Amino acid sequence: MFLGKIICIRPGSLAEELGLVAGDKILEVNGQKLRDIIDLSFSLSEEEVDMLVEHENGEQEMISFDKDYDEELGAEFESAVFDGIRRCANNCYFCFVNMIRPHMRKSLSIKDDDYRMSFLYGNFITMTNMVEADFKRIEQFHLSPLFVSIQAMNPELRAQMLRCRKAAEIAEQLDRLERAGADYHTQVVLCAGLNDGEELERTLQELEARRPHVLSVAIVPVGVTKHRRDPYPLRQFDREGAESVIAQVRARQEKSRRETGNTFIYLGDEFYFLAGREVPPLEEYDDFPQLDNGIGLTRSFLSDWEREKRTQAHSSGKKPYCLDVISGSSVAPVMEKLAAEAMRRRNHLQVRVIAVPNRFFGETVNVSGLLVGRDILWALQEAGGERDGILIPEAALRAGEDIFLDDYSLAELRGAFPHTRIEPVKNGSDYCRALYDWENYHKERCAERDYMWQSNAGYTR
């Protein structure tokens, strides 16, 4: 049986008015069994509703009510999919789930390849586990845009990289997606000597030919942790290789901007860090179509900083204070540059950026979002000294929870430094406020990751 288990009721909502409480499970709406939050939303587009609910004691109740067609229920669920996440059918050379440390919490080992999570959250899918009924549902409910993990348009190479024969059907699957009326963003995980060079050129040409259905292309370098046991010899990019990728892609970006006014193809920040280059200017990222994929994160951070800095220009804080800023090694130079600027403007401020080596995943993993609590603790203890505050990257905390990937909690980290305030920083605005006005800075964490698509009954009209 599919179960939509409620974990939270929003105050003043329709759900509260109906007497629903955390722990209740919604089984059916108007006789329809619910596979996911999408079914629930569309079924609730009706103005007369019969909802079958199972309470925690096992008793079932039919609740009948009238509502406005665009009125939200106001309940949050344990999972956006009630029938279980669709698992990945592949065994990719570069699968990060296969590179995590053994015996980590079970949820980190779930290989999600679910088109519904792609629509709701922007997760990338390969489409190798999709059947005709899935495409029909995408068409029926207008599930667009989706996010598709391409890797290569060469069918043989893609099947090899994903270790799945059905992966060779990528062109046919994209055709079917387009016939269903769906647009999609794409991603290429680039592996040196494998799908770069001429293969990347082929991939970009074929994706460009699929515009306007293809909304954007993100190219990110493969990451490898010290726990990888796959026998295939993946190669990461060095400085020279990163320069080559930047030059190759730059020509196509410039052509796209001349012809359409849109960059269309975007490189992960790591390529620019590896090459020792500045990230591109703001206008080259358009409206940041793949920011959640880390594309343009640094430029967005810098833009937020500049915007916030104008509001902090006349900050009156005069009390001297010293801050430690935790960072992944790749972005540490950016954090140091901004800290130096703040210290020039605020004589009372001292900032030390601590680039934390990732001992948990291996030091080739150098992004802030994959730092773990115990590595941060170790780095702070090694650095020593007095500090009035510690800033940590919010991206290192699990969405909706104050816990790091190694299950070390923010509360434990705070307990290790009981006389020092520790605050998360999400973006450049947060970083600017924290440095310029530490006395008043406090970060309230969001309780839950929002859907990219907000369930809305009016969407059906």
* DSSP-based three-state secondary structure for 252: helix
Q: So what's the pLDDT on residue 70?
A: 82
- Flag the least confident range among 73-77, 340-344, 406-410, 457-461: 457-461
Selection from 109, 120, 128, 110 nearest residue 36 by Cα: 120
Instruction: Quote the CA–CA distance of 99 and 423 in Å, as a whole number.
Output: 30
Q: Which single residue is written with the structure tokens 């993990």?
A: 149
Question: Taking the domain 302-440, which CATH number applies?
Answer: 3.40.50
Instruction: Quote the CA–CA distance of 116 and 37 in Å, as a whole number.
Output: 9
Per-residue pLDDT of 158-168, as tens digits, reads 999 999 999 99
Average pLDDT of the residues of the chain: 91
Q: So what's the pLDDT on residue 111?
A: 85
**328, amino acid identity:** G
Selection from 69, 132, 273, 268 nearest residue 188 by Cα: 268
Proportion of the chain above pLDDT 70, given as a percent: 93
Per-residue pLDDT of 279-294, as tens digits, reads 999 999 999 999 988 8
Residue extents of the structural domains in the chain? 4-83, 97-295, 302-440
Q: So what's the pLDDT on residue 346?
A: 87
Question: Taking the domain 4-83, which CATH number applies?
Answer: 2.30.42.10
The stretch 41-66 carries a mean pLDDT of 93
Chain-centre distance for alpha carbon 217 = 16
Q: What are the distances in angstroms from CA 382 to CA 79, 229, 308, 354, 421?
A: 40, 31, 32, 10, 18
- Are the beta carbons of 426 and 443 closer than 8 angstroms? yes
Residue 210, Cβ neighbours under 10 Å: how many?
A: 17
pLDDT band at 103 (very low <50, low <70, confident <90, very high): low
The b/e string for 244-276 (b: 16+ C-beta within 10 A; e otherwise) is bbbebbeebbeebeeeeebbbbbbbbbbbbbbe
Per-residue pLDDT of 174-215, as tens digits, reads 999 999 999 999 999 999 999 999 999 999 999 999 999 999
Selection from 94, 75, 233 nearest residue 150 by Cα: 94
Domains 97-295 and 302-440 share a fold: no
Tokens for 215?
A: 């909304």
Percent helix, strand and coil across the chain, each rounded to 5?
40, 20, 45
Residue 430, Cβ neighbours under 10 Å: how many?
A: 21
Instruction: Quote the CA–CA distance of 145 and 119 in Å, as a whole number.
Output: 6
Selection from 273, 271, 284, 281 nearest residue 302 by Cα: 281
Q: What is the pairing mode between strands 25-29 and 389-393?
A: unpaired
Given a cut of 60, is residue 452 above it in pLDDT?
no
Q: So what's the architecture of 97-295 in CATH?
A: Alpha-Beta Horseshoe (3.80)
The b/e string for 34-50 (b: 16+ C-beta within 10 A; e otherwise) is bbbbbbbbbbbbeeebe
Instruction: Quote the CA–CA distance of 92 and 164 in Å, as a whole number.
Output: 8
Looking from the CA of 405 toward its CB, the CA atoms found within 13 Å total: 21
Name the pTM for this structure.
0.90
- DSSP characters for 56-115? TTS-EEEEEEE--TT----EEES-SBSS-PPBP----TT-SGGGSPTT--GGGG--B--H
